[in-house]
Amino acid sequence: MAVIKSGSGAMSFTKALAVSLISLPFLFTLFVLYRNPPSDPTPDFREARVLDVPPRIVNALKLGPEDNSSQPADMSKDSLLGGLLAAGFGEKSCLSRYQSALYRKISPYKPSSYLLSRLRKYEDLHKHCGPHTKSYRKTIKLLKSGHSVGPTDCNYVVWISYSGLGNRILTLASAFLYALLTNRVLLVDRGKDMADLFCEPFPEKSWLLPLDFPLLPKFNSINKESPHCFGKMLKNNIINSSTEQPPPFLYIYLSHDYGDHDKLFFCDQEQTLLGKVPWLIMKTNNYFVPSLFLMPSFEQELSKLFPEKETTFHHLGRYLFHPSNQVWGLITRFYKAYLAESNERIGIQIRTFDSGTAPFQYVIDQIMACTLKEKLLPEVNRQETFVTPAENQKSIAVLMTSLNSGYSEAVRNMYWEQSAMSGEVVSVYQPSHEEVQQSEKQGHNRKAWAEMYLLSTTEALITSAWSTFGYVAQGLGGVTPWILYKPQNRTAPDPPCGRAMSMEPCFHAPPFYDCKAKTGVDTGALVPHVRHCEDMSWGLKLVGRHREL
């Protein structure tokens, strides 16, 4: 037992008592403030939760003034996105899954209870049939045999990674919806960067196709003339609707150049045949969801899944696509540095298809005309050289995305050289300018995915005609955009832009065929909820009830 000298011991005890008494009020304050700490242990998430939220952002998030004082609890209340997401994932492995509610306003579009139940059932199916399960190994063995097979416990649709990132996101959502409708398991070809860009969306079992999948080496060469292509085999009468023992796999080719027999995929009679095939290998660069809504066999199920039809990609996209931690870092760092403190956020997405050296002056003129005509940005004072700033100036952050920096520089210079008539402070930011699209480069696609996501956090959005990049942003954000119409003859169109009918993406290459009558038909005039697109007259898109009349 240690012996303590009385003099030094008394002194130490006195000092300790004094320090304790001084510290008690501070410790009590800490106890009151943190008696209900956030559940997430990661430093970055805690930091995001305690951001000082300006009143404008509080309104955008639909929190009442009384909620702002208890911000950490309220801002995380929709972390499961209205029940879309399953609980139980480890947060550190995918920070974006449960943090996304902190960076977007709460969606006014609630998923149907039926959609939620079907997603939970799909997750159970994926757990049972996913990679390396007993059922998966059994079906792979049948695939390798090359022989016709009877019914199997698990059927699959394999999505091939193909085309630019915007196209890939839209086609993957389409493939998942098809899997949901046909009770198949979706497996994803990882390509060069799918695992780097996205988190796993399903619990316990990966959605990534194993690298030893027997048909994987043939994916790049698949086209509409491939021997095992569904359309090719129909055309040559190798298979038909009366085939009792179809092959163990078929290639489904739904890309922009697909043929008439490939388009029979969207006919119920052919779907009966496809239902007997265990493995469907799908290659497409089209968001083909609108044509699924035209199929009688899927009509009732789709109506229950999506009572508000224009929310289809909005719900599927938020369920499936969670940025990886690397991409989430790009998103959150930019958001906190440039967007978080603004009273209002406007997104402008520029994609041009004309040849030549950008920026094009007619596109700059079109951007200016659209933003001012639609009152998305304030007019500038071209007369006075100085305007006395108001005491409570509203700040507007403009997020611009483009391969070229010239467009954002033009908007930035306008608000630098002249003041806004109504006194707002307008700041313009562009995360990157890669000059040319580099779809096969990992760094390029990380930035592209981050920028799509950042655009989806804005309150108002302007997108470019024909651009899948913009389609993804508007769908994820639940925002109906203004569309910059495609310029003709290198001239800014008049009007420069128009409000979209819905936030749904456009199917750029739909079939125009009546499966029952076996004749051509305008598929954009068959049902009220499938219309022709604003930006592509032959395309199809889903619209909501308010647009069906």
pLDDT in tens, 476-516: 999 999 999 999 999 999 999 999 999 999 999 999 999 99
Q: Does 173 reside within a domain?
A: yes
- Flag whether pLDDT at 427 surpasses 80: yes
pLDDT at 547 over 70: no
Say if residue 310 is in the same domain as residue 334. Answer: no
The structure tokens listed for 451 are 């920028």
Do 280 and 342 sit in the same domain of this protein?
no
Structural tokens at position 338: 């440039």
Structural domain that includes position 386: 325-542
Q: Is the pLDDT of residue 61 over 80?
A: no
363 in the same domain as 301: no
- How much is the average pLDDT of 227-235? 97
Per DSSP, the residues of 164-205 read -HHHHHHHHHHHHHHHHHHT-EEEE--TTTHHHHB---SSSS
| Residue 63 pLDDT > 60 | no
Half-sphere exposure of 119 (CA within 13 A, CB side): 23
For 72, other C-beta atoms within 10 Å of its C-beta total 17
* Of 307 and 245, more confident: 307
Nearest residue to 350 (alpha-carbon basis) of 180, 148, 497, 489: 497
The verdict on residue 19 lying in a domain is no
**How far apart are alpha carbons 59 and 342 in whole angstroms?**
13
Q: How many domains does the chain have?
A: 2
pLDDT on residue 251: 98
In this structure, what are the phi and psi dihedrals at residue 212, rounded to the nearest 5 degrees? -95, 15
Please report whether residue 239 resides in a domain: yes
Q: How far apart are CA 101 and CA 107, in angstroms?
A: 9
As a whole number, the mean pLDDT across the chain is 86
Sign of CA dihedral 307, 312, 318, 319: positive
Which tokens sit at 367?
């951007």
Plot region of 341 (φ>0 → left; ψ -120 to 50 → alpha; else → beta): alpha
Consecutive H or E run containing 99: helix 95-99
With respect to residue 56, please indicate whether it lies within any of the assigned structural domains: no
If asked whether residues 179 and 145 sit together in one domain, one would say yes
**pLDDT over threshold 50, residue 394:** yes
Domain end call among 296, 320, 344: 320
Residues 297 and 369 both lie in one domain: no
Q: In this structure, are 240 and 370 located in the same domain? A: no
Do 467 and 385 share a structural domain?
yes
Q: What is the rounded distance in angstroms from the CA atom of residue 498 to the CA atom of residue 530?
A: 19
Question: Mutual orientation of helices 468-477 and 312-320 as an angle, nearest 10°?
Answer: 90
Q: Which of 303, 320, 337 is the last residue of a domain?
A: 320
Q: How many helices (H) does the chain have, and how many strands (E)?
A: 19, 14
pTM across the whole model: 0.85
Task: Report yes or no on 16 lying in a domain.
Answer: no
- Any domain includes 13: no
Q: Could you tell me which residues are beta bridge partners of residue 283?
A: 253
Return the structure tokens found at 502. 């819905």
Mean pLDDT along residues 344-363: 94
Residues 146 and 235 grouped into a single domain: yes
Cα(first)–Cα(last) distance of the chain, in Å?
90
Residue 520's domain is classified under what CATH number? 3.40.50.11350
Cα distances from 6 to residues 1, 3, 15, in angstroms, run 15, 9, 14
Calculate mean pLDDT across residues 149-172.
93
375: left (phi over 0), alpha (psi -120 to 50) or beta: left
- Given this model, what pLDDT does residue 51 score? 32
**What number of other Cβ atoms are within 10 A of residue 259's Cβ?**
15
